[in-house]
């Protein structure tokens, strides 16, 4: 019954537009009886112009970015409110160069990348981001297909067969109806950006009756068993009612660690993560995995019989130390006959025995 012209225009933010609503002669309406709305809001009649008996125009100035991805709805209405015609205004900006392109490979079996939109970020109109890649010295240009949105940008996972020992060139192209832009090209070798699954089977256990220590064990990620690599691990732990994590960094390639200096009678949560380094001789530092699921255990409850707030005098300290040493060597003679040397396990057993005889840790 009517036509709006131009139909579905694409405009830059800040620009203006003159649109017209042309009535069909069969309606028997006069253009002066019509009115305009934008996204359901009636526009001021001061912006209208009656061009002829069947044409009403409107002048829009300094347009803002579209409020909806599908475009802003410009409508021409009859006097009774009936919608006679409509048009979608797409008001936005051309994309800016995508930034912060980073990539990683999960167990050397795929390649994933994430990036951020450039500049102010919001173009206000539909913008397509395409992750492209190719082998540096040969091979054709390819496009990633498995896209996802993140809080701070976009990501895509390349699930096609990945080539090893050959550098890739990777970049992102952003395109909309007002223009296009491409990110800087990132050059990488898949073996330099490998990350693993978190360490599996994380277990937390007590060490005898020691009330200030727990033992953490875990299994190496099995996915890289066919690759020559060294793994370094990191542990973090916190008390059940605490929010702050403490880190234990100097673990190296071990798959167990003793946490000491803990609070007796307290539940602790522990997580482990892995960094695969030196895969097939790569000199890159590697990428940390996600943290494992938390494991939990409680330290034994300590029994401290001496609850005074004063420190013993120096002479009393020396006397107590002599008594403890005498007890320790006596205990060794009784429980470790035939041993040529003492181990940390033997020391732990003595400390457990000492706690059972109600000796305090301060005296030790």
| Domain span at 178 | 99-192
Q: Domain check: are 13 and 75 in the same one?
A: yes
Strands (DSSP E) along 39-98, which ranges?
Answer: 41-42, 48-52, 55-60, 72-77, 83-92
Q: Domain check: are 220 and 262 in the same one?
A: yes
Planar angle of CA 189, 192, 194, nearest 5 degrees: 110
Q: What is the pLDDT of residues 43-93, one digit of tens each?
A: 999 999 999 999 999 999 999 998 887 889 999 999 999 999 999 999 999
In total, how many domains does the chain have?
Answer: 3
Alpha helices in the chain, H assignment, sequence order:
314-335, 344-356
pTM value surpassing 0.75: no
Q: Domain check: are 179 and 260 in the same one?
A: no
In the chain, % of residues over pLDDT 70: 80
Choosing from 277, 299, 321, the residue where a domain stops is 299
Q: Domain check: are 28 and 65 in the same one?
A: yes
CA distance 346 to 333: 12
How many Cα neighbours within 13 Å face the side chain of 238?
Answer: 8
Choosing from 31, 57, 92, the residue where a domain stops is 92
Q: Domain check: are 107 and 169 in the same one?
A: yes
> Within a domain: residue 174?
yes
Q: Domain check: are 187 and 209 in the same one?
A: no
Domain of 81, CATH number, reads: 2.60.40.10
- Describe the crossing of helices 314-335 and 344-356 by its angle, rounded to 10 degrees: 110
**Mean local confidence (pLDDT), 174-196:** 92
Among 154, 156, 157, smallest CA distance to 121 is for 154
pLDDT at 286: 77
Q: What is the pLDDT of residues 11-22, one digit of tens each?
A: 999 999 999 999
> Within a domain: residue 250?
yes
CA distance 272 to 282: 23
Mean pLDDT of the chain: 83
Structure tokens at 158: 């390349």
How many residues are there in the chain? 364
Q: Domain check: are 242 and 168 in the same one?
A: no
Structure tokens at 364: 């030790």
Q: What is the pLDDT of residues 204-263, one digit of tens each?
A: 999 888 889 999 999 887 776 666 667 889 999 999 888 899 988 778 888 899 998 899
**Mean local confidence (pLDDT), 252-276:** 90
Q: Domain check: are 167 and 221 in the same one?
A: no
Q: Domain check: are 261 and 181 in the same one?
A: no
Asked if 104 contacts 195 with a C-beta cutoff of 8 angstroms, the reply is yes
Asked if 290 contacts 268 with a C-beta cutoff of 8 angstroms, the reply is no
pLDDT at 307: 30
Task: Please provide residue 335's backbone torsions phi and psi, each rounded to the nearest 5 degrees.
Answer: -110, -10
> Within a domain: residue 252?
yes
CA distance 354 to 364: 9
> Within a domain: residue 309?
no
Q: What is the pLDDT of residues 109-150, one digit of tens each?
A: 889 999 998 877 788 998 999 999 999 887 789 999 988 887
In the chain, % of residues over pLDDT 90: 50
């Amino acid at each position: 019954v009517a036509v709006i012209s131009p139909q579905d225009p694409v405009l830059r933010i800040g620009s203006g537009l003159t649109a017209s609503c042309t009535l069909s002669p069969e309606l028997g309406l006069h253009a002066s009886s019509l009115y305009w709305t934008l996204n359901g809001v009636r526009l001021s009649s001061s912006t209208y112009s009656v061009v002829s008996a069947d044409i009403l125009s409107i002048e829009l100035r300094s347009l803002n970015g579209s409020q909806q991805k599908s475009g802003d709805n410009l409508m021409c209405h009859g006097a009774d409110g009936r919608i006679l015609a409509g048009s979608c205004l797409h008001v936005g900006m051309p994309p800016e160069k995508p930034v912060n392109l980073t990539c990683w490979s999960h167990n050397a079996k795929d390649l994933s990348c994430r990036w951020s939109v450039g500049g102010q970020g919001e173009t206000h109109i539909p913008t397509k981001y395409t992750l492209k890649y190719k082998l540096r010295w040969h091979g054709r240009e390819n496009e990633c297909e498995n896209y996802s949105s993140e809080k701070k940008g976009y990501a895509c996972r390349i699930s096609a067969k990945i080539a090893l020992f050959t550098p890739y060139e990777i970049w992102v192209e952003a395109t909309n109806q007002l223009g296009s832009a491409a990110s800087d090209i990132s050059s990488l070798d898949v073996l330099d950006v490998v990350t693993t699954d978190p360490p599996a089977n994380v277990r937390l256990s007590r060490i005898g009756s020691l009330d200030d220590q727990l033992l953490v064990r875990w299994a190496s990620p099995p996915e890289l068993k066919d690759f020559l690599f060294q793994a370094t691990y990191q542990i973090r732990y916190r008390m059940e009612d605490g929010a702050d994590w403490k880190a234990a960094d100097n673990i190296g390639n071990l798959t167990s660690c003793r946490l000491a200096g803990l609070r007796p009678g307290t539940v602790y949560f522990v997580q482990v993560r892995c960094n695969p380094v030196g895969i097939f001789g790569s000199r890159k530092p590697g990428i940390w995995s996600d943290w494992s699921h938390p494991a939990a255990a409680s330290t034994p409850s300590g029994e401290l019989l001496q609850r005074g707030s004063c420190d013993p005098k120096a002479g009393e300290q020396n006397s107590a130390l002599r008594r403890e040493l005498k007890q320790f060597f006596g205990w060794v003679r009784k429980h470790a006959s035939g041993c040529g040397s003492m181990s940390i396990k033997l020391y732990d057993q003595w400390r457990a025995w000492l706690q059972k005889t109600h000796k305090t840790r301060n005296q030790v």
